[in-house]
A and B are shown apart, each in its own frame.
Chain A
Amino acid sequence: MDKSLTAMPNLAGADRLSAGPQGKRPRKVLSGRNIMVYGALTFAAIYYLLPLYVMVVTSLKGMPEIRMGNIFSPPMEITFEPWAKAWASACTGLNCDGLSRGFWNSVKIMVPSVIVSIAIASVNGYALANWKFKGAELFFTILIIGAFIPYQVMIYPIVIVLRELGLYGTIYGLILVHSIFGMPILTLLFRNYFVSLPEELFKAARIDGAGFWQIYFRIMLPMSLPIFVVAMILQVTGIWNDFLFGVVFTRPETYPMTVQLNNIVNSVQGVKEYNVNMAATLLTGAIPLIVYFVSGRLFVRGIAAGAVKG
């Protein structure tokens, strides 16, 4: 040992290392920690995915097979008939044109609501973040309080307001309600995002002579794609999944998809067609699901960006 030590400077490469730990520390694959983490994750995943599995499987079975009661077993004979029926011919009361009418109603409600609420909220947030005006803090506080008031409290007054405006029972009334109720949370979202953008950019644009709208459209908008995606996802899923406002503020011919789904599932005539109900539910949930899958990564990025400051 002594000899090798004194000779060390002349040795090359691996010979210079002494015995004992070196480099990266080895880790066990099956450590207690790993078992805990992966076990918990697997359990949670199964817990959430099992109902979905049952729904998909059931919607692909015929009624005779369902009556046998093996809800977890895969279909022996795959049929898409329940899906077709749910979409085009399931009955709610007197109508027998399935969910399709509700789907198009929901689209007609959702698209304008999403556009209007995001357009207004983004300008609100921009003004609150960058153009400090007198009473801005108070205005913002009131808006935020609005986010915490339970919707049920406001239903009756809104019914009266819509009636007076002549919008009660129409799609436009519901669009108005959705646009207004999306305002607090969206404004908060946009304000926090714009606050997180460097203030000097805004100052530079003002020195360059740009006004309120020029800065908004030419400087701020191109920088805020992520937060617009976040807002869009929030609004699309929120408005699509809304049941309460839909059932209160519209009439049967303008019911959104969720209300119609409820009516199909809860209709009392004849046998309960579980396969059709499952298919109808999956169809209704498809839109939010697709939105999440398509824009999930942008969503995370936008949320993270908005959360840095503010």
Chain B
Amino acid sequence: MMHNTVPLRSQYSVSIRELSLSFGAVKVLENLNIDIHDGEFLVLLGSSGCGKSTLLNCIAGLLEPTEGQIFIKDKNVTWEEPKDRGIGMVFQSYALYPQMTVEKNLSFGLRVAGVPKDEIDRRLTRAAGILQIEPLMKRKPAELSGGQRQRVAIGRALVRDVDVFLFDEPLSNLDAKLRSELRVEIKRLHQSLKNTMIYVTHDQIEALTLADRIAIMKSGVIQQLDDPVTIYNRPKNRFVAGFIGSPSMNFMQGVLAEEGGRFLFQTNGVSFSLEGYQASETLMPGRAVILGARPEHIKVDGDIVGGEVHEAIVDIEEPMGADNLLWLKHAGHTMSVRIGGARRYAPGSKVRLAFDMTMASLFDATTEERI
């Protein structure tokens, strides 16, 4: 790829160009391109085996790409050793050296690099202060709790004074409560340090809460790279739509129809007006499509503000405290609807429902791309 020698001005912190990686015949990454801005928090999101950790390892220099280039701070680091790339990495299993105290763990990289003693002390003090691990400095990793270990692991990246932080599922080994606490801490850390951070996770809540931009990956290909709001509200294809959001988006197979200048979505003999939907291309009657609507974008009874009203039967309800999830039967489909936690319905009762088509998604039935 010799033609790719366009000089980059330092607008990008990390730049990945045409990156491919295969193990034998298995292609793990294919022609990946991402430009990550300075100070950006990018989350690589996907289910296991989608290549997100592989990509992170390539950026770290722990795996060699088969093809393509990696730039960090405008420097081509494709062939550089991990230590020369200006990165720090935090692992899922913390990867603290078990025989060393917290202090030694933090300073190991600096001692290897031959950094002077007083400089090491200065950086240790700073990192320990930021992460509030001063009381733990003399302890061994085995004497720490999971959350403390992960804090030390973050500290190890912090003392190296790097441009880019890489996180490989750092919270996946923690219990739910600690996970949400540390999630906030990582966000706070990013806000105060303003470093570029690349964060791999399979947890969509982490992705949505932390990211400036999310890259959703599937089988080594980035499906969509956008900010969380766009990803959530305007998913590019059906995979992204189904992957993000819990409970998942409702999907209905059907066809487009036109009636008096208005477009309709028809499924099992029932028509839904598509009024309000913003299509990115011209709609054609007869086209096979999938209509997607998130549980909170289907309104029930009192929530209905207007538009076309249908009638449905309550199948079951799942009270979840703040919310109540209704499973409704209508037009041969079962759809989930999110309503306020205080509103209860008995199974079998009839409700009125209306779709908020401004927030819905239409996908082509064959390509599954957004229309």
A204 touches B95 (CB 8 A): yes
Number of B interface residues in the complex (CB < 8 A): 26
A214 touches B60 (CB 8 A): no
B112 touches A207 (CB 8 A): no
B334 at the interface (CB under 8 A from A): no
A206 touches B112 (CB 8 A): no
A207 touches B97 (CB 8 A): no
Bound: A257/B57 CA distance, A: 54
A207 touches B99 (CB 8 A): no
Bound: A68/B109 CA distance, A: 74
Q: Given that A198-B95, A223-B98 are contacting pairs, would A204 and B112 also be in contact in the complex, using a CB cutoff of 8 Å? A: no
Q: Given that A198-B93, A200-B92, A207-B83 are contacting pairs, would A222 and B108 also be in contact in the complex, using a CB cutoff of 8 Å? A: no
Complex contacts, B82 vs chain A, CB 8 Å = 206-207, 209
A272 at the interface (CB under 8 A from B): no
Complex contacts, B168 vs chain A, CB 8 Å = 200
Q: Which of B88, B93, B97: most chain A Cβ within 10 A?
A: B97
Complex contacts, A214 vs chain B, CB 8 Å = 112
Complex contacts, A210 vs chain B, CB 8 Å = 108-109, 112
Complex contacts, A307 vs chain B, CB 8 Å = none
A200 touches B87 (CB 8 A): no
A200 touches B156 (CB 8 A): no
Which chain B residue shows the least CB distance to A198? B93
Q: Which of B82, B87, B92: most chain A Cβ within 10 A?
A: B82
Choose among A200, A203, A209 the residue that contacts B109 (Cβ–Cβ < 8 A). Answer: A209
Q: Which residues of chain B in 109-140 are interfacial with respect to chain A, using CB atoms and an 8 Å cutoff?
A: 109, 112-113
Q: Which residues of chain A in 209-228 are interfacial with respect to chain B, using CB atoms and an 8 Å cutoff?
A: 209-210, 214, 218-219, 222-223
Which chain A residue shows the least CB distance to B84? A209
B62 at the interface (CB under 8 A from A): yes
Complex contacts, A219 vs chain B, CB 8 Å = 97
Q: Given that A207-B60, A208-B83, A209-B83 are contacting pairs, would A200 and B95 also be in contact in the complex, using a CB cutoff of 8 Å? A: yes
Q: A203-B57, A204-B97, A207-B89 are in contact. List 13 more A-B contacts (CB 8 A).
A: A198-B93, A201-B95, A203-B95, A204-B91, A205-B97, A206-B82, A207-B83, A208-B109, A208-B112, A208-B156, A209-B81, A209-B82, A223-B98
Give the top 5 A-B pairs by smallest Cβ distance, nearest first. Answer: A209-B83, A208-B109, A200-B95, A204-B95, A222-B99
